[in-house]
Amino acid sequence: MTFFAHYRAKMRGGGTCPPCASTVEIFWSWLGSFLGILLVAGLEQLFFTGTDLFLMIGSFGASAVLLYAAPTSPLAQPRNLLGGHLVSAFIGVVFFQMVPQQAWLASSLAVSLSIVGMHLTRTLHPPGGATALIAVIGSKQVHDLGFLYLLIPVFVGACLLLVVALFVNNLAPGRRYPLWWF
C-alpha cells in the first residue's frame, strides 16, 4: 500500500459511535454545568460589574463539558484543569505582548506553544488552547489585564468550576471526582 493510500485509509475511521449516555448521566452533566457556569457568571455579576475585571471567559464552557460530562477523563482532572488554563494563559499573554500588532502570528504561537507547554507539564486540558487564544484576540479589557489575566479570570474562574465539580460529581451515584489531584 502506498503512503497516500494508507494515509487516506486512516481518514475513513473504522470504529463505532459510542452509545448515548443514560438519562441519569445527562442529568448530572446538566446540573454540574449549569451550577458551575451559574456560579462564575453570578459572581462576576455581583462583584465585577462596573469594574475592569471579569470572571467569565469562553474556554470555561469547554471546561464545563470535560468536568461535568467526562469527569473520569484524564483531561478533566484538577491538575489538568488548573495547570492547563494557567500555562496557556501565561503563554497567551506573553505572545500578545511580544507581537501585539501581529495577531495572526501571536495567535498561532500562543495556541501551539500552549499545547507544547501543557504536554511538558502534564497538564493537557483542551480548553487551555482557547484560554491562550483569548489572551491574544480578546478585547482591550483582556489585554489591559496583562498577567493579571492569569489570576482573574483564569485561576479564580477555574477554581470555581472545580469546586462545583467536586460537589456535584461526588453527589452523583456512580461518579467519583477527582481520580487524582497531582
- Is residue 128 within 8 A of residue 84, CB to CB? The reply is yes
Domain presence at residue 9? no
Domain presence at residue 62? yes
Q: How many domains does the chain have?
A: 1
Domain presence at residue 34? yes
Q: What is the reported pTM?
A: 0.94
Domain presence at residue 97? yes
41-82 pLDDT, tens digit each: 999 999 999 888 899 999 999 999 999 999 999 999 999 999
- Is residue 64 within 8 A of residue 33, CB to CB? The reply is yes
Domain presence at residue 10? no
Q: What are phi and psi of 8, to 5 degrees?
A: -65, -40
126-180 pLDDT, tens digit each: 999 999 999 999 999 999 999 999 999 999 999 999 999 999 999 999 999 999 9
Determine the structural domain holding residue 99 and report its residue range: 24-171
